[in-house]
């Protein structure tokens, strides 16, 4: 069986190292790239050398989604090694226009999203500092260097046909790869041992945030239905028994949604207050991801009609429906 080789690359983020995957036969192909940093580049080149390869030996680099820990070194790989870059249509615009997107998303967070949550000044400043770190961890991918395939295409990895799956939730453009004959699943950040956070993206209208966890749960159902033996995640160790993990994560999400509902019934009115209650005494980095999760729980409660939301002076307030 043709198996991908897991290569762990360092990042500066709370999630820790990121996994990229190498197929050596019938041609060397890399899935994802790591962040743009000297440490990540050195780790990647050393890992390739351990398999008798250099950057210029890579025939293709396949990119799963447009987060900088997954595509940050893509442009350098294309420029230094002449490597062919490939991704799904739904991902491509994020890779080739990331600078413009990131500037607009930063402005959205600063001017609209973070004020809507009622966030405290320390967390507000922490999040804006995070945006500056991200801005140093990637390079835009030139459109001319990027080749696209359909969002439901079949692509070749390791001499086998892998199905491309669009699984939004962690982000709107997340893609994964499934090999049905060998029951292998390259899950990227869709399925991790620890529930991936539903990242708040720049809304299409620049203001109205899209629901996150309801979308993620639907993608979990899609992944649960697959016949999988082994999962190659975007972070952490390779694992098996994906259905048990899916069920565990679903149960935890629903349990924490009830915790969020109890917060609202108990008097929490803003996303910041819910986050502070659910993630009390945790680090700012955990609270950052916790804010995204708390809003996901709110989305589930809103979808079920159990709470209502209204905006006053730029802050969104939640209350129990009687």
The string of pLDDT tens digits covering residues 182-195 is 999 999 999 999 99
Angstrom distance (rounded) from CA 274 to CA 291 = 8
pTM: 0.95
The residue-averaged pLDDT of 3-27 equals: 94
| pLDDT mean across residues, the chain | 95
The string of pLDDT tens digits covering residues 271-283 is 999 999 999 888 8
Residue (of 218, 166, 190, 238) closest to 3 by Cα position: 238
Whole-Å CA distances, 174 to 85, 203, 256, 278? 17, 16, 24, 27
Read off the pLDDT band of 1 (50, 70, 90). low
Whether 88 and 163 have beta carbons less than 8 Å apart is answered as no
Report the Cα–Cα distance between both ends of the chain, in Å, rounded.
Answer: 57
Residue at token pair 């729980």: 297
Residue 248's SS3 state is helix
Whether 291 and 117 have beta carbons less than 8 Å apart is answered as yes
E-state strands within 10-129: 18-23, 29-31, 60-63, 84-88
Residue at token pair 């770190």: 133
């Amino acid at each position: 069986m043709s198996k991908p080789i897991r290569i762990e690359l360092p990042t500066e983020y709370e999630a820790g190292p990121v996994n990229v995957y190498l197929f050596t036969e019938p041609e060397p192909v890399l899935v994802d790239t790591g962040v743009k940093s000297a440490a990540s580049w050195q780790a990647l080149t050393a890992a390739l050398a351990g398999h008798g390869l250099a950057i210029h030996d890579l025939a293709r680099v396949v990119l799963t989604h447009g987060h900088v820990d997954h595509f940050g070194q893509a442009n350098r790989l294309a420029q230094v090694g002449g490597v062919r870059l490939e991704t799904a249509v739904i991902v491509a615009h994020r890779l080739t226009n990331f600078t413009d997107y990131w500037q607009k998303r930063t402005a959205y967070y600063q001017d609209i999203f973070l004020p809507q949550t009622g966030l405290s000044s320390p967390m507000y400043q922490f999040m804006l500092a995070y945006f500056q770190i991200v801005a140093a961890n990637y390079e835009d991918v030139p459109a001319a260097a990027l080749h696209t395939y359909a969002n439901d295409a079949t692509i070749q990895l390791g001499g086998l046909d892998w199905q491309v799956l669009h699984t939004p939730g962690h982000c709107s453009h997340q893609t994964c790869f499934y090999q049905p004959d060998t029951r292998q699943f390259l899950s990227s950040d869709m399925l991790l041992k620890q529930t991936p956070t539903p990242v708040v993206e720049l809304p299409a209208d620049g203001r109205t945030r899209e629901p996150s966890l309801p979308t993620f749960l639907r993608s979990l159902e899609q992944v649960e239905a697959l016949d999988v033996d082994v999962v190659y995640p975007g972070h952490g160790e390779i694992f098996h028994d994906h259905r048990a993990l899916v069920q565990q994560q679903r149960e935890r999400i629903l349990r924490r949604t009830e915790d969020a509902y109890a917060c609202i019934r108990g008097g929490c009115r803003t996303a910041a207050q819910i986050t502070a209650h659910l993630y009390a005494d945790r680090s700012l980095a955990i609270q950052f991801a916790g804010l995204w999760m708390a809003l996901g729980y709110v989305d589930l409660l809103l979808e079920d009609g159990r709470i209502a939301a209204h905006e006053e002076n730029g802050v969104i307030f939640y209350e129990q429906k009687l």
